[in-house]
Amino acid sequence: MYAISLGDDGAQLRPLEPWQAEEFLHHIDRGREFIGERNGLPDVVTDLESSRAFLQAYAEKAASDTGRICGIWADGTLVGAVILRTMDVAQGNAEAGCWLEPAGVGKGLVTRAVRVLIDWAVEERGIQRVEWWVSSSNGPSIAIARRLGMTRDGVLRASYLYRGERHDEEIWSVLASEWRAARTS
């Protein structure tokens, strides 16, 4: 297994695989309420079987080159993850996403991890457009999109039903040419 350093604080980005289902479930349990404020993952990952199934689905996406999941470890503990929820290499499009449990918040971990993921998608897989879909009420996630140099493409009004309430969704994106230009400046 490989690990990519996310900086001087010892944080690492590593693949998440089905054999890590128990560790992943513990991570979700620690952050269940916090993660669930904006992300439906805690409603999906509720026990060891569903944890393994979620990670297996991403293993299958990785095998078919249609998505990825990588965990973020801080001080040896899984505290979050970044994903390519979708990836269409033929069309050159991908959608990135993330979550953290409270222990990972405020350290810049997601921004650093998503940078690694976008670098890989653009440079290794030839992705030309990376999207970031976010509820308009999710200020921290919108701040990440801005830090990554993404542009807000638009707002889909009342398009996202979450726990019985409709939310506006913003779509942010960065193009490969913009990503490369920002890295060299």
CATH number at residue 146: 3.40.630.30
Q: What pLDDT, on the 0 to 100 scale, is given for residue 1?
A: 61
**Under-50 pLDDT residues of the chain:** none
Q: What pLDDT, on the 0 to 100 scale, is given for residue 184?
A: 78
pTM: 0.92
Q: What pLDDT, on the 0 to 100 scale, is given for residue 38?
A: 87
Number of separate domains in the chain: 1
**93 bridge partner residues:** 88, 129
Residues 81 and 28: their CA atoms lie apart, in Å, by: 10
Neighbour count for residue 24 (Cβ, 10 Å): 22
Domain coverage including residue 22 = 4-184
Please enumerate in sequence order all residues whose Cβ is within 8 A of that of 82, keeping only pairs 6 or more positions apart, or say none. Answer: 13, 69, 70, 72, 96, 97, 98, 110, 113, 114, 117
Q: For 55-72, what is each residue's pLDDT tens digit? A: 999 999 999 999 999 999
